[in-house]
Structure 1
Amino acid sequence: MRSWTAEYLLLLQWAVLRKKRYLPLNLIIQVGLAVGIVVGFSYMLPQLDQVGAVYLTSGATVMGFITVGMVLAPQEVAQAKLEGAFEFNRSLPVPRSAMMAADATVSLVTALPGIVLGLVAARLRFGPGLDISPLALPGFALVALCALGIGYGISYVLTPPATSAVCQAVVFASLMFSPINFPIERLPSWLAGVHHFLPFLPMARIARGVLFADHRGADAASFVVLALWCAGGLALSLRIMCRRG
């Protein structure tokens, strides 16, 4: 019997082959979104101060992970359901966790160019002094896994049309009504209270904390809330993948 790692590597190759047709388009979307948030929002806010620049810089990074994990990945699963590939994958004699890990790896690699170019665009546009923390890797890994866990959970549970509708709502709500690109104090008190239980605020706090020395205040609660969302999404997704019938 092959080891989990061997199965994962084979599934990773297969995932790349299955997605090679639209990987370039996903890369373009990621780069356009990250750079667009940095540059486009600065046109809307011509008197942008240093605090605003910090929020847009970190916000572009978070939106990259949200777009990949909660929008593109779920829609790929929805398309696989329509084509019958989802049920076929579940019938294969391979570890379901390795299958999910392979798909997640391709999605994360797709997000990286946009995130890097978004940070470069922010540096050129605003000149904020990045001071990357040693916690950047685990922090961003948690943000990415949380986004993917929630996205997979959405697409595994819902029908393809419902998944598409939810994905559109997620990207709209996260971009316009979540404290990712602006301080939470600007939201109505009731909406700000809701965000303390949603994953968007912890994602933004962790991103700012690992990118800027003056915002190292990503409290333990942010990691706890995000870890709970991540664990719940991945556990639900894995359970559905392992379910028979």
Structure 2
Amino acid sequence: GRSPEARERGIMRLLVACVLFVAVSASPRGFFMQQMAKKAHARHDGMNHRVADLRENTHNLREEFDHRLEAGKQSLNLVHEVEARVHRMQGDGCSEHELNCNDHGHTCLNELLVCDHSVDCPNGHDEDDAVCVNHVSTGTVLEGDIDHSECMTDTHEDHLRITITGESRLNWFSSVVLVHAHVKGHNTDGSTFEHDMDGQYYFARKMLTLQPSADMENRLGVICKFYGRLSDRCHLSVVHEATLDACMQAEMAVHH
């Protein structure tokens, strides 16, 4: 038989061997797991960077798109404005109180038959949605600086603001919108003036007219013609009621 000391030394060797076996067996697995964790973190960081780059690129593309879209809108508005100016100078073959049907026969239609819920143009142009838009609905504000004014001898207007305060459209007279407006102006000497005026909006001519109110001694009316397909500006003239001669001109920005 073996002595107790020999058995104890044998047990110690066995324990040491077991510890070494476990260490040798566990070490590669631990190293592998560490490497996998590092790779996972690296991939995660890489994905975060790529996502950040994609977001930045998307943001830049959106800004570029918005910029080009706005530039395109401005260019289109300029084209429409030029078209409207040419139309005002050359006309379209119809009288002032008629609508051109834009058909092959160059049909001219009386303005009172436009937007009356009955098709009169051969192509139905007189009832098109684009024609029958009320550009001066309640709440609309027309505002601009005065380019030229000779209406008053002692004062000169330099700014005008027109607010549409009400509107109505009669079933039996739907080609015209009846409007109420509050007109406020500013003179070069710092004084101001205000009037409440009634008038009409004509679909066929895309034109707002305001008649002088009873309290206006100088009896001045207002005419504002919209530029073709544009709804955000109109050309304003202030005219003498008796002669319709213009004594003031302004380009008005229109806010709906």
**TM-score interval, smaller chain:** under 0.3
Q: Which has the higher helix share?
A: 1
Q: Which has the higher strand share?
A: 2
For CA contacts below 8 A with separation 6 or more, give which structure has more relative contact order: 1
TM-score by length of 1: 0.22
Is the radius of gyration larger for structure 1 or structure 2? Answer: 2
